[in-house]
Amino acid sequence: MAKLAFLGLGQMGTPMATRLLRAGHDLSVWNRTSAKLGPLVDLGASAADTPVEAIAGAEVVITMLATPAALEEVLFDGGVVAALTPGQLLIDMSTVGPDEVRSIAQRLPSGVNVVDAPVRGSVPEATAGTLAIYVGATDTEFEQVEPILAPLGTPHHVGGPGAGAAMKVVINLTLGVAMTAVGEALALGDALGLERSTLLDILTESPIGGTVRIKRPNVESGNYPANFKLRHALKDLRLVTSVGADRDLRLAAATRSWLEQAAADGAADLDFSAVVATILAAADRQEGPNP
């Protein structure tokens, strides 16, 4: 078992760190809000007052933070990079895009490498250890990190450094488009006079069926408890349109626009499926065609 440091105990970080502890690793944890450390300490983790304290003596440092700005603050303003020593490995599991990963790699001390390993899945998958993990690393580094990441889900070696972050951006484009497609499909179905429950039944057999099955309870109840906050989905679509700025990504732009509207409507801290409610509300404000 390895000596690990885990920085960032948000909705995803806490269940992930818990699984690493239960796999038998020696784990030091840090979070900006120290109250979140308690349950992990009860399971055997060591609590650190600062990120620098957390990484002392760790073989591998894992970061799971919400935004590129938060990652920059912890790594550089928080002194983590300056405190890293040759032989330590940084695994960033945040969704920050390939440009940020490459920028971090260029600023690490000699002898310290970064592996990018963002994940697909939300709180239920993090809790169950069924995340899909997209790893950008050399062959040697992947062999080193695969057994560490295995308790969290299935590590996929998708290419060299930066490839994991790039793959996650692509995947998040498809997730966002699928979710907004559900909203627009329901809006069109309403305009054409289709019964909502029947339409949802049929959509589960369509190319967006997986999204419909998972998020149907939210849509039907009108309640959107956050497994994946809409603000994070919006951040991801902004990453998509940023890194793909030299490509004509019209669906990405439309999806980002819907998410921005939903956030402006007050849904930022709800599940990202709340964008469906925004789309349906916008449709209700328009005069639809006669069915």
The catalytic residue positions are 168
> Which H or E element spans position 16?
helix 13-22
- Residues 6 or more apart whose CB falls under 8 angstroms from that of 284 comprise none
Task: Show the tokens assigned to 197.
Answer: 């429950």
CA distance 258 to 184: 10
Give the largest Cα separation in the chain, rounded: 69
Spell out a b/e string for 130-153, using b for 16 or more CB atoms within 10 Å of the CB, else e: ebbbbbbbeeebbebbbebbebbb
CA distance 205 to 202: 6
CA distance 237 to 169: 8
> Is the distance from CB of 54 to CB of 79 less than 8 angstroms?
no
Phi, psi of 9 (to 5 degrees): -120, 55
CA distance 167 to 118: 9
